[in-house]
Amino acid sequence: MTSYTHPDDIRRLFELQREASRAQVDVPLLVRRERLLRMKKLLEENAPVLAAAVQADFGMRSQRLTEVADFFVLRAQLAHVLKKLSQWMKPRRARTPLYLMPASAHVQTQPLGVVGVIAPWNYPVQLALGPAIDALAAGNRVLIKPSELTPHTSAQMASLVAQFFAPDEMCVVQGDAAIAALVASLPFDHLVFTGSTAVGRKVAQAAAANLTPTTLELGGKSPCIIDADCDMADAALKIAHGKLLNGGQTCIAPDYLLLPRGKEVAFTEAYRAAVARLFPYFEGNPDYAAIIDSRHLARLRNMLQQAQTQGADVQVLTPQPGTPAPPPTTIGDGVARQMPPSLVFGATQEMQLMQEEIFGPILPVVVYDRLDDAITLINNGPRPLALYWFGKSDAVRDSVLQRTVSGGVSVNETLMHIAHDGLAFGGVGDSGWGGYHGEAGYLRFSHQKSVLVQSRFSMGAMLYPPYGPQFDRIMSLLRRLF
């Protein structure tokens, strides 16, 4: 069986993985590496098939875009984990305080058991297999539930995982929101969810019933601050790339821009030029991803309509005059859902696009007079998954970093902190909790067991009752140590 869609099958599969994890508590390095190498082989041999499935789900998303946004990240992650795993698995010595000597102590990592992954649709391969890689490295069994909005990718992933892994090692289950709710209710040893804050709350509540620890990556409204002295052309290019990658459907995309007053024209011109450089045309451009479905497209259009009705200046970017007509395409049905980028000036906090995560190619621009005003606006909202700052002053940069809280930060760049193997990726507050990637991911999906090994020369008995004058003298001596 390569596809699990019935609730009873999913429950039996979970129990199979749970029993296997309890039967093999210790998972040796060689077993973990062999599983990771199978994952690597799965990607090496089947990337084109998976990219075609992603294209079928989006209707317009090139294989090259999926290569850089999904496969490249996974390949880099696998290479890093395979290189570092033996080092991470070594027990870590802990210094023993004087009053416990001559005992020794160490921290030993062990698999948690079964890790569940409820993955989203926007990067359907990376955000399903990325957490799975870290969980496998930590010696766990993994059950993945992909999004129902990417059925072709989900089915292909289920089939491929079944070819490379036994069901009690790793498998993919499929289904709608009801199946996702079922998965969230299972008593995993750890559950990873990537998606909206609203659904994340429901997942956390379901997991809490089983005391299941969670890692929640929930997106949010990630601000981008431009300082007055920044290189506007460079900043605009990087902001346009971060905003428009995957049609704006990225959890850490810059959600709104904070711009010094008086820089509106300079930024608009630079942003238009940057968009034209990245995407000479939109409709029929396979590198410019379609909005995933008509419901999400309607939501984005309604946001723009409401903002315009309430007085905002909505500037829809169109191909520059003289741009050659795009070649005819038969790639998919997503052409009608390739939404042109927009800049929105004069957005207010009462507008929907300033209250919800946009998840599309719309960039509201909020003008500020003082940096304090920009920081106050950020801190008055829910804590974001990412924050971006562009400028030249180290002092201003450090002030922004010290006075704001976010899941992660890129300075004079967008998105790229997620690609750093040494940086944990995760949110804070409303944007989630817990982080994975690299050693942080390995530790997130491991139990760090504290071990004290007592010596036969232990003097601990001096602290045993019955208490008396000798005990008082010992405690007096120990108090001098603190």
Could you list the active site residues?
217, 251
**N-terminal to C-terminal alpha carbon distance within the chain:** 62
Helix ranges restricted to H, 92-173: 126-137, 151-164
CA distance 118 to 12: 18
Non-local CB neighbours of 155 within 8 Å, separated by 6+ positions: 3, 53, 174
Q: Which residues pair with 109 in a beta bridge?
A: 448
Collapsing DSSP to helix, strand or coil, 193 comes out as strand
φ/ψ of residue 245, rounded to 5:
-55, 130
Parallel, antiparallel, or unpaired: how do β-strands 446-453 and 256-260 relate? unpaired
DSSP character at residue 103? -
DSSP track, 395-416:
HHHHHHHHH---SEEEESSSSG
The residue written with tokens 């829809």 in the block is 316
Q: Which residues pair with 453 in a beta bridge?
A: 104
- Cβ proximity of 453 and 104 under 8 Å: yes
Non-local CB neighbours of 452 within 8 Å, separated by 6+ positions: 100, 103, 104, 105
The residue written with tokens 């001096």 in the block is 462
- Cβ proximity of 313 and 344 under 8 Å: yes
CA distance 321 to 378: 37
Both tokens of 452, joined, read 């004290």
Distances (CA, A) of 223 to 33, 364, 366: 39, 10, 10
